[in-house]
Amino acid sequence: MTSTATPESGQLSIARERVLVLDFGSQYAQLIARRVREQNVYCEIVRHDLSAAQIAEHAPRGLILSGGPSSVYAPGAPKCDPELFKLGIPVLGICYGMQLVCDTLGSQVTSAPAREYGRAKVKVLSHDGLFAGVADEMDVWMSHGDQVTKVSDDFIALAKTATCPIAAVKHKSLPVFGLQFHPEVTHTPQGNLLLHNFLFGVCGCTGTWRLGDFAKEAVAQWRQRIGEGRVICGLSGGVDSAVTAALLYEAIGPRLSCILVDNGLLRKDEQGAVVAEFTNHFKADLHVVHGEKRFLKALAGVKEPQEKRRRIGHVFIECFKEEAAKIKDVQYLAQGTLYPDVIESGAAQNGNAATIKLHHNVGGLPAELGFDLVEPLRDLFKDEVRRLGGELGLPDDLIWRHPFPGPGLAVRCLGEVTKERLEILREADAIVVNEIKAAGLYRQTSQAFAVLLPVQSVGVMGDARTYEDAVAVRCVNTDDFMTADWSHLPYELLARISTRIINEVKGVNRVCYDISSKPPATIEWE
């Protein structure tokens, strides 16, 4: 991969200032990349074991070594190529990354006598370079059981805490730095300034990464690559597929055909909204497949979540293939794959993450379709996709629509999926969303939905005893969907949601509110 890209490479010239995050298994690796991009510097996550020669081929302005769960002195602990320190490329090690830097360059790392997890106070010993403009004392977020206990004569300590005498380091002759704490998390308020000092003061970046420029270059790139070819794009009603379609429509116009598979698992009025948006706004060639009966037949009697996903994926491919065969001269298939999809699915050649999800966009449709794959959003995070949608002129209602899982309501209908249970869930879900919108909190809430539980409980309605379904309401706030906290909605709003669901949705007599964070819970229930 080179810094000046061609359409074949999939990289844009706007990304000529590139910083690489070497991933050692940190839960924050993606957050580091996002924080760098927020400073208008393009950033990618790559494998930790790339050779120095492979790293040099990327022509990065800087390298960031992420944290990780291992101890650098443990057998089999992940390491980097020590030759990378001879490349002259600035390096910033974070947490495990700092320990690895110091260990590789002759310092000592041991188990800490006092582990640090959570907030801590750092005293800055030197304000040169990395700590320029930072207060003498700063709040930081620590998460380590090991620490650098002795540095070689080549290092200078830049900061300390009460229990960690070497909380930041600088190499005397190499452009190499280390931070024991995490500057990328919001719990380190001046962390963005530290990253800014590294990116602009040490690496010499100028900040050329702009989504507006990305949109222009991406349109030009895909117009050149596709030429006179025809593309089909699967629509789901979500922002990812919508922005994919919008970008390609800008590039190739009527040579884009969109397919919406109505699997009977969509939210209330979803099909109508998608059809209106993509026939009125884009004037796109839209094909709607009515597949509810096929999907429900495949799901009959199935309760296991992964089996639901597998069957839905199988029927979706069948429906998509049948409709695609009706469209002549198709050469390309477009998917709304995002950067987190690539990493979480273990599909990135440069990634270092295990497969977390099934039924992701990545590899979602089989090779035997015979189309070349087009993934124009593959290098973007969700928040970047939303901003790109704005650059492309998409309406706010579409851009800010909450994420919706690929298998649809099937993974929010716990237990067996039937038409009757889906109708209960669909009505309850609509009440949740509409009430949050009415309260003016939809944009402040990252995701909100109802879950139909596979349990019934005793209730009393009027003078009659009932034994009916329970619904859980799930609302979360998050920046990146890698971690999330439950939304602290007003009690009055929760009361209205509960009252309306119980009064208006036949078959429900109990509503619960999910107050679990991710981790340890996931956002979706299945």
- Please provide the DSSP assignment of 214-232 as one string: HHHHHHHHHHHHHTT-EEE
Determine the Cα–Cα distance for residues 474 and 451; give it in Å rounded to an integer: 7
Q: What is the CATH number of domain 229-399?
A: 3.40.50.620
Q: 276: Cβ–Cβ under 8 A, 6 or more apart, which residues?
A: none
Asked, colleague to colleague, whether 13-202 and 229-399 share their fold, the answer is yes
Provide the pLDDT for residue 460: 80
Is 374 in contact with 226 (CB distance < 8 Å)? yes
Determine the Cα–Cα distance for residues 458 and 445; give it in Å rounded to an integer: 32
495 to each of 1, 442, 474, 491, 492, how far by Cα in Å? Answer: 54, 17, 14, 6, 5
Determine the Cα–Cα distance for residues 278 and 129; give it in Å rounded to an integer: 51
**Active-site residue, from 44, 48, 58, 95:** 95
Provide the pLDDT for residue 40: 92
C-alpha of 490 from chain center: 27
**Helix/strand/coil for 112:** strand
- Give the CATH fold of the 412-513 domain: GMP Synthetase; Chain A, domain 3 (3.30.300)
Determine the Cα–Cα distance for residues 38 and 19; give it in Å rounded to an integer: 13
The domain segmentation of the chain, as residue ranges, is: 13-202, 229-399, 412-513
130 to each of 17, 45, 122, 166, 461, how far by Cα in Å? Answer: 19, 22, 14, 15, 65
Provide the pLDDT for residue 345: 56
The yes-or-no answer on residue 182 being catalytic is yes
Provide the pLDDT for residue 479: 74
**Active-site residue, from 184, 375, 384, 468:** 184
Q: Given the DSSP bridges, would you call strands 230-235 and 464-477 parallel, antiparallel or unpaired?
A: unpaired
| Stated length of the chain | 526
**Helix/strand/coil for 111:** strand
Is 196 in contact with 39 (CB distance < 8 Å)? yes
**Helix/strand/coil for 257:** strand
Closest CA to 155 of 94, 105, 86: 105
Token reading at 444:
């402040």
Determine the Cα–Cα distance for residues 22 and 91; give it in Å rounded to an integer: 10
For the full predicted model, state whether its pTM sits above 0.75.
Answer: no
129 to each of 44, 94, 134, 181, 193, how far by Cα in Å? Answer: 24, 16, 10, 17, 11
Determine the Cα–Cα distance for residues 308 and 408; give it in Å rounded to an integer: 11
Q: What radius of gyration, in Å, describes the C-alpha atoms of the chain? A: 25
The yes-or-no answer on residue 95 being catalytic is yes
**Active-site residue, from 48, 58, 171, 182:** 182
Taking phi over 0 as left and psi of -120 to 50 as alpha, with beta for the rest, 204 belongs to left
Give the CA count within 13 Å in the CB-facing half-sphere of 316.
25
Residue with tokens 């189309």: 371
Domain 13-202 has CATH 3.20.20.70: no
> Which amino acid is present at 50?
L
Average pLDDT of the residues of the chain:
87
Residue with tokens 């990545």: 362
Peptide bond into 520 cis (omega under 30): yes
Determine the Cα–Cα distance for residues 334 and 56; give it in Å rounded to an integer: 31
> Which amino acid is present at 420?
E
The yes-or-no answer on residue 475 being catalytic is no
- Pick out the chain residues at pLDDT < 70: 1-15, 114-116, 343-368, 463, 480, 482
Residue with tokens 């706004």: 281
Token reading at 205:
């970046």
Determine the Cα–Cα distance for residues 109 and 65; give it in Å rounded to an integer: 16
